[in-house]
Structure 1
Amino acid sequence: MSVAAGMMMLGPMLAAGGEGPQRFGWHMYTRYVSLPEAEVRTADGTTEQVSLRDVVSGLRIEIDYFAPAAEFLCNTRTDAVSVRLWNETPAREEVFECFRS
């Protein structure tokens, strides 16, 4: 009986000592991830900040929202020339050009 109890305690203790939050790891959902902020640059050079809360219906840490959100904004905004997205946690910034065919 004590061997089984020891094994039940040893498994989580070993897993908790890992590198930290990783996909499908012990700490997968312990990392704070913020929703990216977006800014659309139009053909006349003006910029407009867009709330991705109107675009994304729920925050999941394993999803990379940058490319899909930029594609959506480029496709739905006919005046968009580029979309800049940035994130505080984890720190990241990217600019996507909107190409029209």
Structure 2
Amino acid sequence: MGILALQLVVPAIAFFQEPPTRLGWQMYSGIGELPKVHVETEANTTEKIVFMDVAANNRSEIDWRKYLPEFVCQENANAIAVELAYSTRTESFECGK
């Protein structure tokens, strides 16, 4: 009974840990979320960017806030801010030119 309990409890605990971690069980579960990317330009317009157009992979355990805004700012000369929208939150990053 103890072994059966371990087989149920350990995956249940790992399933609810957040965020997904590299080489962790969640890495393969697909529970991570990729952001929707929007760029605010100098002309006061907002452009939607397709995530796979600016990222080489869609691994959910990567913290895209660290890398994606800076890259999008460098690639878009008219960008003044980058917005990453998740289902529960939206974060905005100013481009430092």
Please report the TM-score for the alignment, with normalisation by the length of structure 2: 0.76
Alpha-carbon RMSD across the aligned residues, in angstroms, is 2.5
Which ranges of structure 1 fall in alignment gaps of 5 or more residues? Answer: 1-5
1:16 & 1:57 partners in 2: Cα distance?
30
SS of residue in 2 equivalent to 1:20: helix
Letter in 2 for 1:99: G
Which ranges of structure 2 fall in alignment gaps of 5 or more residues? Answer: none
Please report the TM-score for the alignment, with normalisation by the length of structure 1: 0.73
Q: Which has the higher helix share?
A: 2
| Greater gyration radius | 1
Task: Tell me which of 9, 15, 37 is aligned to 1:14.
Answer: 9
C-alpha deviations, 1:40-86, integer Å up to 9, x for none? 11111111111111111222221111231111011111110101110
SS of residue in 2 equivalent to 1:70: helix
Deviation at 1:31, TM superposition (A): 5.2
Give identity over the alignment, percent.
28
- Bigger CA drift: 10-19 or 63-72? 10-19
1:26 & 1:66 partners in 2: Cα distance?
20
